[in-house]
Structure 1
Amino acid sequence: MSERVTAERVIPEGGRRRRRPTKQGAVLSERLIVETALRLVAQHGAEALSVRRLGAALGADPSALYRYFRNTDALLLALADELIGRAQEGWRATGDWREDLRSMGLRIHACYLSHPQAAVLGAYRTTGRPHETAAVERILGILAAAGFPAPFAVRAYHAFIDQALAFAAQDAAALALPKAAREADEAVWNSVYGRLSADTHPHIAAAFPLLAADMRGSGYPFALELLLAAMAVALPAAAGS
C-alpha cells in the first residue's frame, strides 16, 4: 500500500462495513483482511503484503482495503497485534506469578513460531492496539500482585517482554529460512564444531555432544527460567524498598 495515502481515506469504525459481499461471498472486515494477510505472508513471505495480492485473495477491489488500513504499515501493526492476541487466547492466571509469567512467555514464543514469516515482520513493533495493551496490563498486573513495586515491575516487564520477543523473532527467523538453508545451518554443528581438535578448542571438544544436542532447540525456555529465578531472588529486596 502506498505510504502517501492520507488518513482521510480511512473510514471510521462504524462506517467500514462493506454492504455487498466480495466475489468470494465474504463480507469484507478488518478481521478477514488480517487473517487473509497472515495466510498470504505464511505462504509467500513479506512480498505478499500488498494491496494487489490481498485484493485478489479476498476477491475485492484493492482500493476497498483503504477503508480499513491507511497503508501497509498499519496492516503490519494489525498483524503483529493479532499474534499477541492469539498468544493470550485461553490463558488464565493461576495466582502463582512465576507460573503465570512462564506460561505467558511460552505462549508468546510458541505463537510466533507458529507464524514465523509474520513474526519476523512484526515482533519488534509496538502496535498500541487492543491485544498489545491488554497484554501489557496483564503482565504488569501479575507483577503488582506478586508484590513488586512499580519501578521494579516496569523494569521486570521490560526485560520479560524483550526476552520473549527477541527469542521469538530469532527462532522464527530460523524457521522462515528456506529448508535447504535451515538444514545447512543445523549441519554446521557436526561438520565444523564436531571436528574441532581438543588441542585448539578444548572446551568445545569437551562439551560437543551436549552442545550439538542443545543447539537443535530454542534457548528460550532456559533463559526464561533464569530470568524468573533472578526476579524471585530480587523480590524480597524490591518489595522492602
Structure 2
Amino acid sequence: MKRVPVERKRRRPTGSGVVLSVDLIVDTARELIDAQGAQAFTVRKLGAALGADPSAVYRYFRNTEELLLALADRLIGESMADFALSGDWAADLRELCLCAYRSALRHPQIAAFSTIRVTGRPHEQRAVETGVGLLLQAGFDDATAVRHYHTLIDTVLGHAALDAGVARLAPAQRAADERAWQAAYGALPADEYPSLHRVREHLPLMAGSAVEPALDLLLAALKGEAAGRER
C-alpha cells in the first residue's frame, strides 16, 4: 500500500476529541522523554498522553525510529532558530556549534540518542549546509571543509553527550563527583603525585564542561590554517 504523505492526511479527532498532527506527536514525545527518559519511552505511553490509540501514531510515522529521528531534527531546528550569520566565519562556526550543544543540554534525556544519530532531515541538512559553507568561505578546499566540519561537530556533540549524561545524574552524585576533585585528588601526597599536588588549587576546574575550551582550541587551529592558506 502506498503511504500517504503526512501533509495530505486528513486530520480527524481521536475519541477524546484531540486532533493529531506531526507537530503534536513530536511535541508530546519530547515532553515524555524529557520527563521519563528515552529508555522508558513507548508508543503506548505516547498514545495515552495524546488521548489516542497508540496505533494512530503509525498513521504519521512508520515506526518509533522515524519518530525519534523527527524529534532529534526538531531540536536541531529549535537550536538554529535564533542563529544569524555575522560575517565572521570563525565566530559563526563557534556559535553554530554552541547552538547544538545548548540544545542538547536543554534536553539531556533526548541527547542520549540525538547526539549520535544522523537525522537526514531538513533542519540537520540546513545546519550542515551552514557549517560546511562557513568553512568554504574561510578558504578551505571541498574535502578539507568537510573534514573540519566533521571534527568540529563531533567534538561538540561528544561533549554534549558527556555533559548531558552528567545532567542526568542525581544531584547527590553530581555533588560527590565535584567534591572528589578537591577531596580525593587535591589531597594526594606530593612525593607520589607531584604534578597533581602542584596544580591542586585548580583541580576543581575539572568539574566543569570543557566544551568551550575544546572548541576554542580547534577554532584557533583552523584560523591559523586558514591564514596560512592566504599567504
Q: Does 1:78 pair with 2:93?
A: no
For 2:215, the equivalent position in structure 1 comes to: 224
The DSSP-based 3-state class of the residue aligned with 2:207 is coil
Q: Does 1:149 pair with 2:141?
A: yes
Which amino acid in structure 1 is aligned with residue 214 of structure 2? A
Unaligned runs of 5+ in 1: 1-7
| Residues 1:236 and 1:105: Cα distance change in structure 2 (over 3 Å) | same
**Deviation per CA, 1:127-163, whole angstroms, max 9, x where unpaired?**
1011111111111111112222112111111111111
Give the CA deviation at 1:239: 5.7
Q: Percent identity?
A: 48
Q: For residues 234 and 104 of structure 1, what CA distance do their matches in structure 2 show?
A: 20
Give the CA deviation at 1:195: 1.7
Give the CA deviation at 1:81: 1.0
For 1:201, the equivalent position in structure 2 comes to: 193
| Residues 1:230 and 1:119: Cα distance change in structure 2 (over 3 Å) | same
Aligned counterparts, 1:1-241, within 5 A: 11-20=4-13, 23=16, 25-212=17-204, 214-238=205-229
**Retained in 1: the 8 A contact 2:34–2:107?**
yes
| TM-score, scaled relative to structure 2 | 0.93
Give the CA deviation at 1:9: 8.6
Q: For residues 102 and 187 of structure 1, what CA distance do their matches in structure 2 show?
A: 31
Q: For residues 42 and 115 of structure 1, what CA distance do their matches in structure 2 show?
A: 6
Which amino acid in structure 1 is aligned with residue 88 of structure 2? D
The DSSP-based 3-state class of the residue aligned with 1:230 is helix
Give the CA deviation at 1:45: 0.8
Give the CA deviation at 1:118: 0.2
**Retained in 1: the 8 A contact 2:72–2:119?**
yes
Pick which of 222-231 and 194-203 moved more: 194-203
Q: For residues 75 and 142 of structure 2, what CA distance do their matches in structure 1 show?
A: 27
Unaligned runs of 5+ in 2: none
Which amino acid in structure 2 is aligned with residue 226 of structure 1? L
| TM-score, scaled relative to structure 1 | 0.89
Q: For residues 50 and 2 of structure 2, what CA distance do their matches in structure 1 show?
A: 20
CA RMSD of aligned residues (A): 1.8
| Residues 1:52 and 1:91: Cα distance change in structure 2 (over 3 Å) | same
| Residues 1:239 and 1:84: Cα distance change in structure 2 (over 3 Å) | farther
For 1:4, the equivalent position in structure 2 comes to: none
**Retained in 1: the 8 A contact 2:108–2:167?**
yes
Q: For residues 197 and 101 of structure 2, what CA distance do their matches in structure 1 show?
A: 31
